[in-house]
Amino acid sequence: MSTLSLADWKSSTATLVLRHILAGALSLVVFFACMLVAGFGAERSLWFTLVTSVPWGVTFWLRYELGRRVLCASRRQLRLMLALRVLPVTVPLFVLTTEHLPDPALAAPVLAGGALLVVAVSLKALAQEEETRLQQGFLTTMTSGDAARVAAVCEVRLARVGDDPVKRGWLELNLARALHNTLLGSYQRKNLERAATILTRLSERDPDPVRRCIAADLLVDVANTFESTEGDFSAMERAVERLAAAARPLSHLPGVVLSVRLQRMELAYARLAWESARFVEGAPAPAPELVDDVLKACALALEVAPPSRRADLILRRAFMETMLYVNGLTAEAPDLDTVLEAVDRTPRHLALDRVAILPALAMLIDMGAPRLDQVTDVEQRIRSALATRLDGWMPALLETALAQVLLAAARLDPGSLDARLPAALRHFERAHDHAVTSSPERATNTAMAWGAAAAEHGLAQEAVKAYRKALESARRLALSALTRGQQEKIVREAQGAAAEAAHWLITERRYREAVVTLETSRALLLTDTVEREQIVGKLRALGHHRLADEHLELTGELRRLELLAAGPGESWILDPAARARRELITKARARWEALVEEIRTLPGFERFRAAPRYQDVQDASLITPLVYLFSGERGGYALTVVDGGRRPGLVRLPELTGEEVQDRVGAYRRGLAATDSLSQAEWREVLSGTLDWISVTITDPLLRALGPLDSVMLIPAGPLAALPLHATMLDRVTVAYTPNARVLSDAAARLPSAGSAHLMVADPGGDAGNRLHAVDDEITMVRRRFPGTRVLRVPRPQQVIAELPRHSIYHFACHGVVDHRDPLESSLLVSGRRITVKDILGERLPGARMAVLSACESGVPGASLLDEMVGLPSAMLQAGVPGIIGTLWQVDDFATLLMVMRFYELWDGGRRPPAQALRQAQRWMRDSTLTEFLRYVEGAVPWPYRLNRKARRDADHVRPYAHPDYWAAFTCTGI
């Protein structure tokens, strides 16, 4: 809400009210005196004055109560206030004329003239009051319903007001504020965008410095809303800079200084919250200076705050200190009694602020060690708040807070658990239901908290219900989000829900449902895109060519537009070009949804874009056996589906706990990130330790239960997707990875019947210290194996992208870069530039067969969205490549060359599946002696290392590439 008010320059609302009361009293005194002079007598004059005071009082109430809540009075209100103004004057005027005029015939004209005079004066007074409301109404608190009515009235008034810059300026300010306040009911991006457009224009071009400053202040609020819903504070940063610039001409006014400092405080907090969110996703921890910035900003605001604002600011500071502790950014918890005292000191007219801190207090109670009386006090405050008229997302927050407080009370008073636990779960459910309708982006988090509470107390059915709600909310929101960045933010919030739901389904022996739950949660965004692509062929096969053409055009347009805004969040609040792009996406998405509904009416297409069924998993398992692998707080499981089995197999992995997985994966990833600083021995120790743990914890019990199989397709969930699981199964089964069963089925359906046009992209890199010295030998090898290969040496990225659709097999010999913070920016480097995941996602390669990414870390998925497997292999899958060979870490140049040579030899133009050829090549790398390697490369490529006499003598026994560091990095994704 805006922190800037006209009262800072003119006078407070209380002063205005007092002035009107005194003016009304003076008017009544004058009225009484006039009655006496007219000869009515003291008794009748007093009676008329008292009668007059009633409608005047009602008029005053209408002006300051109804007018306070509804900014611009309706015609009905205006007529009522006009009648109440005219009535007290007309009645005594009528009595006067009938009793004292010498000629009764003059009574009618005098009465009419007096009435008209009173009407004219009243209309002028009402116009002045409306102008006052136009200038001050936007400062009042509005519910979303009030705001919608105010916005509608402002729209009508703007259409009639003409070119008066003063009236238009205040009306537009009110309209923008009302549009922003409608978001209290539900998040409507179009209202936020329109408010931002109006305020941007006013803050830049309005001739009145006061209105410019107020518009800039309101623009910060709009940008803050954008930050809290879409996770990008850069727009808020720019808005605060604009406010500071607009405030400079008015810096002599204390209210302006306070406003700027308050908004800087909000910005500091938003920046810290953003850094905290990135920390959860794997980025470095927020700098301590950011916490200090928030606290310093609070102190600076308090320095210039007038006494009337200090209680409000102390409450804000208490809220921020509470949230800093809740988010783990400060070690010392605020004193709960002190915070409650700050709440009590806050003026009653700031009721929304008094309510807004209650969810933070509930989190503080949940994390701390409160007394039972404190918990009961907060519980009563929350219940009182829920009993008042609240709209928007506040009921959802308060219901969640009440559930948390009830659980905390049950921990302090175990005897009340049986009564409080069911009540807490019902409040969680109500919170979720509120959020679905009023604030869908909060529904997933609410359901996750609900599920965690049920799981903590071993309530299987309740936990399954809650976690499924979380997955449903995330899926629904992600598939309707406008940009890839928004989709990823939504999906990230539901990570872990599928594994928890599957665990509790397994305890209920509902194995098929557990498989479907895991299938639903894996690679949601990739699967949606793949389904968009595969439907075209089905439509053409059944003669629906118009729909196929329209679908092809729309999917291509959507893909291009979505990737233009694919980052964590565009600052379209202050960027007209970004807003225009989003408008195009919105229109294209609406056409796409209409087309989906039309396609669903066709026979056989009823389940287009529907949630998966177990039948989909059974069909994929006929291609190759599937293994869903996941961990949880209470241990891990593998669910296996073989040859279309009606009942999945279950393998319990009790040592695969969530905590153990996090520790092991964390150590492995830290080792990967530090390969430049670690010695080879240190990195190999990390890798060997990881593989030993995988063997004991996962591989041995899993393969014992599976029995003899030629191949399996692993679908690891969560952090397990980052591990080289295949390396521990090398001697027992062929392993490949797939995002989920439906993507595997699609890849199998897209296998080309023929085609062997090879494209090789080669770039050794220009840095001598980081140059790939074996690239020339790799080119020679590929050309010898596949004559006619098109080789692009150090090409431009655009040239590579243009060549991809003309070939079916791609070989990249270059550097690769993985971006864990933004996986869409992971890339292959050519001619010093990047071919990113985003670039590949924008392509369609229907005739492709395989991509060999002989580049460092080309198979690593993004750390923040492991279940989505965002990375180069998934991008290739989405573009239409059925099989991808990638790497998980940097591998020795010559070892890579040997691996690729042997792989192509064993693959033999497609006579073996890529996963089988890769497994055999890896075993060959591990087991071959130096003599065998020398014999293999003789006449093809020179051996790059000098061999001394001892090495030649031991050549029959030494296995130079036996360590997994040389071969375990290579993975096969797809088929």
Structure confidence by residue, pLDDT tens digits, 482-522: 566 667 777 878 888 999 999 999 999 999 999 999 998 88
What's the mean pLDDT in 447-466?
95
Crossing angle (nearest 10°) for helices 209-230 and 189-205: 150
What's the mean pLDDT in 384-409?
86
More confident call, 701 vs 819: 701
- Judge contact between 413 and 462, C-beta under 8 A: no
- Judge contact between 966 and 892, C-beta under 8 A: yes
Closest to 501 (Cα-Cα) out of 621, 698, 633, 644: 633
- 121: confidence class by pLDDT, cuts 50, 70, 90: low
**Residue 744 predicted with pLDDT over 90:** yes
More confident call, 339 vs 56: 339
- Percent of the chain at pLDDT exceeding 90: 32
Q: What is the pLDDT of residue 7?
A: 37
- Judge contact between 390 and 355, C-beta under 8 A: yes
CA angle 71, 14, 3 (to 5 degrees): 60
- Judge contact between 887 and 871, C-beta under 8 A: no
What's the mean pLDDT in 51-79?
51
Q: What is the pLDDT of residue 523?
A: 79
Q: Distance between CA atoms of 499 and 669, rounded to whole angstroms?
A: 21
Q: Distance between CA atoms of 932 and 338, rounded to whole angstroms?
A: 77
Q: Which two tokens stand for residue 230?
A: 């879409």
Q: Distance between CA atoms of 965 and 932, rounded to whole angstroms?
A: 20
Q: What is the pLDDT of residue 853?
A: 93
Q: What is the pLDDT of residue 408?
A: 93
Q: What is the pLDDT of residue 574?
A: 56
Q: Distance between CA atoms of 900 and 809, rounded to whole angstroms?
A: 14
- Judge contact between 519 and 742, C-beta under 8 A: yes
H helices within 457-568, ranges in order?
460-480, 484-493, 497-507, 511-521, 524-541, 545-564
What's the mean pLDDT in 18-25?
63
- 204: confidence class by pLDDT, cuts 50, 70, 90: confident
More confident call, 374 vs 88: 374
- 210: confidence class by pLDDT, cuts 50, 70, 90: confident
CA angle 223, 228, 230 (to 5 degrees): 85
Instruction: Kindly write down the DSSP assignment for every residue of 12-74, as one continuous string.
Output: -HHHHHHHHHHHHHHHHHHHHHHHHHTT--HHHHHHHHHHHHHHHHHHHHIIIIIHHHSSS--
**Residue 227 predicted with pLDDT over 70:** no
Closest to 894 (Cα-Cα) out of 775, 785, 807: 775
Q: What is the pLDDT of residue 724?
A: 96
Structure confidence by residue, pLDDT tens digits, 813-832: 998 888 766 677 888 999 88
Q: Report which listed range, 323-337, 540-554, 792-806, is most confident.
A: 792-806
Which range among 480-494, 516-530, 678-692 shows the weakest confidence by mean pLDDT?
A: 480-494
**Residue 798 predicted with pLDDT over 60:** yes
Q: What is the pLDDT of residue 138?
A: 43
In Å, what is the CA distance from 574 to each residue of 232, 579, 599, 629, 775? 12, 8, 38, 45, 47
Q: Distance between CA atoms of 826 and 812, rounded to whole angstroms?
A: 15
Q: Which two tokens stand for residue 687?
A: 């890798």
As a whole number, the mean pLDDT across the chain is 80
Q: What is the pLDDT of residue 206?
A: 85
What's the mean pLDDT in 676-685?
85
Q: Distance between CA atoms of 124 and 456, rounded to whole angstroms?
A: 67
- 99: confidence class by pLDDT, cuts 50, 70, 90: low
Backbone angles phi, psi at 253, to 5 degrees: -95, 125
**Residue 624 predicted with pLDDT over 90:** yes
Structure confidence by residue, pLDDT tens digits, 877-912: 888 899 999 999 988 889 999 999 999 999 988 889
Q: What is the pLDDT of residue 234?
A: 66
**Residue 397 predicted with pLDDT over 60:** yes
What's the mean pLDDT in 209-214?
82
Q: What is the pLDDT of residue 948?
A: 79
What's the mean pLDDT in 270-286?
63
At 215, which helix (H) or strand (E)? helix 209-230
What's the mean pLDDT in 454-472?
94
Q: What is the pLDDT of residue 40?
A: 64
Structure confidence by residue, pLDDT tens digits, 842-854: 788 888 999 999 8
Which range among 120-134, 628-642, 797-811 shows the weakest confidence by mean pLDDT?
A: 120-134
Distance of CA 422 to the CA centre of its chain: 31
The CB density around residue 275, as the number of other CB atoms within 10 Å, is 18
Q: What is the pLDDT of residue 54?
A: 62
Secondary structure (3-state) at 103: coil
Q: Which residue has the tokens 């938003």?
A: 270
Q: What is the pLDDT of residue 451?
A: 95
Q: Distance between CA atoms of 658 and 629, rounded to whole angstroms?
A: 12
